[in-house]
Amino acid sequence: MATLPDRKKVFAWTLWDAGGASFNAIMTTFIFTALYLTSDVFGSETHTTQVLSAGLTIAGVFIALLAPISGQHADATGKRGFWLGINTFATAILMALCFFVYPDPKFLWFGVTLIALANVVNEFAVVNYNALLPRISTPATVGKISGIGWACGYFGGIIALVLVMVLFIKPGILPLPEGDGSLIYRSIALFSALWCVVFSLPLLLSLRGESARTRQTSVKDAGPGGLAGIINAYKHLFNTVKRLYRTTPSTLYFLVTSAIFRDGLNGVFTFGGVLAAGSFGFSANEIIIFAIAGNVVAGVGALIGGSLDDKLGPKNVILGSLIGVLIAATPILFLDGKPVFWVCGLALCAFVGPAQSAARTYLARVSPPGEEGELFGLYSTTGRAASFLAPALFGLFVGLLGAQVWGVIGIMVVIALGLAMVLPLKPAPRLQNEESTF
């Protein structure tokens, strides 16, 4: 008889991803930083972009250094739900404080600091969120549930963006004063914070009372606090890496491999809008419409990929998705016209979702009980360490071949390298005789 996951807890877990979409889609990708924080009210486009890049780079360094010991601490104390709540609310508070980023160059660093800090605590929250996946799923449903969560993130971003456009962007239905254009974007920050809290509460409330039970079964001691605690945490982290190298080198190999192909997948979204506007002549409205359509397709792809994950295993889903990305990207290099980009771009989105979801389930399947937080922290760290590959190669091929569209080759090189590294990877363990009825 198959063990069934708790449907209410699974639903609450997926809603958290929908709530987090307000930070990813609204604050950092499409609205607040893109249309407000880097606008001319804070200085020249070059200056604001450089300041934002510097802030996010510093945030990335802190994430790479601290994400593993953040997850390790949650494992050791047994308070994964508590730390998920702390970091989630910290993200929401930092988004809300963006309301006070007034349209003046002297507020630029204040706004960038808020966004950078939010990036850090949000990543810590994601580490603990991902580490909950083995607990709320079963071996027969982990792929499907991961896919549903990833899809909810895409769909949550779509709904949040539509609401922002309807409520705030001219002609928004909210009675905001017309004389202060910045008030629209600063109010959107409040909306994003509220969205994050509302959709995160079901999961955080469902985790109340579990800390004590988890702590009793914890496999590690939290150790001392302060500087000594940090030093001990890094010692334990290095011991974990050495142990993985000795006992399960395939897990360590996967962390490196996934960092590479995940950077290529991120490059698809990072440079999709750039290519649409610069190489295929999309207008701003067409880019927004494409972004919404792309998120819908990626969400559906994640749902389908999640079901295939449980049947075929995450390795096969990753392989098929990466091959699909390479095939879908090739016509963009040689064919012109908006219809080409629409077809190929949406096909790319369809394959990105399943690969991202399957990468998460692979690590969830191989993580020893009680160590999920630390391993997902390493997952974040290795991802950050490789995050320069796609942007660097995109720019390199643009420079070498003299046209923006050739930057696609750079992304394809990263994907192809990741694909080659996935081939010798050991399949993740899964139960052959357990059927999902979820």
Please provide the average confidence, as pLDDT, over all residues in the chain: 82
* Cα 299 to Cα 87, 145, 249, 408, distances in angstroms: 25, 13, 32, 23
DSSP 354-418: HHHHHHHHHHHHHSPTT-HHHHHHHHHHHHHHTTTHHHHHHHHHHHHHSSGGGHHHHHHHHHHHH
- Supply the pLDDT for residue 73: 62
- Domains, the chain, in order of start with CATH, read 1-219 (1.20.1250.20), 236-367+388-431 (1.20.1250.20)
Q: Which of 94-98, 193-197, 262-266 has the lowest mean pLDDT?
A: 262-266
Residues 6+ apart with CB under 8 A from 49: 38
- Supply the pLDDT for residue 222: 46
Coil, helix or strand at residue 352: helix
Phi, psi torsion values for 436, nearest 5 degrees: -85, 130
Instruction: Note the pLDDT tens digit of each residue in 128-138.
Output: 888 888 788 77
- Supply the pLDDT for residue 229: 56
- Whether residue 214 is predicted with pLDDT greater than 80 in this model: the reply is no
Q: Report, in this order, helix, strand and coil percent for the chain, each rounded to 5.
A: 80, 0, 20
Question: 423: pLDDT confidence band, cut at 50, 70 and 90?
Answer: very high
Neighbour tally for 29: CB within 10 Å: 18
Instruction: Note the pLDDT tens digit of each residue in 131-188.
Output: 888 788 777 788 888 888 888 988 898 899 888 888 887 667 887 776 667 898 899 9
State mean pLDDT over 421-432.
78
Instruction: Note the pLDDT tens digit of each residue in 219-264.
Output: 444 444 455 556 666 676 677 778 777 888 888 899 889 989 998 8
- Whether residue 266 is predicted with pLDDT greater than 50 in this model: the reply is yes
Coil, helix or strand at residue 267: helix
Cα(176)–Cα(20) distance, rounded to whole angstroms? Answer: 26
> Would you state the structure tokens that stand for residue 10, as one six-digit string?
């699974």
Cα(43)–Cα(36) distance, rounded to whole angstroms? Answer: 11
- Supply the pLDDT for residue 405: 85
Nearest to 54 by CA among 1, 116, 125, 118: 116
Q: Which of 114-123, 136-145, 403-412 has the lowest mean pLDDT?
A: 136-145
Contact of 291 with 438, CB cutoff 8 Å: no
User: The whole model's pTM is what?
Assistant: 0.76
To 5 degrees, how large is the angle CA 112–CA 117–CA 120?
A: 130
> Would you state the structure tokens that stand for residue 382, as one six-digit string?
């290795």
